[in-house]
Structure 1
Amino acid sequence: MTDQVLIIIAAIACYAFVAYLEHKKKIDLIDQGLWNPGEK
């Protein structure tokens, strides 16, 4: 049981880390004026 919980926690942590990196990358692009979130 505890092994499954640890795997789930690790998966959530990895997903959150990747999502954070993607978000940070977009913020950096916006700061540099290379990406405008208003444009589709």
Structure 2
Amino acid sequence: SKSEGGWNMVAIVFSAIIILIVVVGSLWIMWNLNYNMMPH
């Protein structure tokens, strides 16, 4: 049905947003740790 397809799209978009946040967050944390460990 149409409503089911709509929910599928919402689930895919929601999953993509969560994955993006996790990846960006991990990269940001790693960059901050490397930056803080480097001698200023």
TM bucket normalised to smaller: 0.7 to 0.9
Provide the residue aligned with 1:21 in structure 2: 26
When normalised by structure 1's length, the TM-score is 0.77
| Identical positions, percent | 14
Give the number of the structure with larger relative contact order, counting CA–CA contacts within 8 Å between residues 6 or more apart. 1
Runs of 4+ that moved beyond 6 A: none
Structure 1: runs of 5 or more not aligned: none
Structure 2: runs of 5 or more not aligned: 1-5
The root-mean-square deviation of aligned C-alpha atoms, in Å, is: 1.6
Tell me, yes or no, if structure 1 residue 6 matches structure 2 residue 11. yes
Return the index of the structure with the highest Cα Rg.
Answer: 2
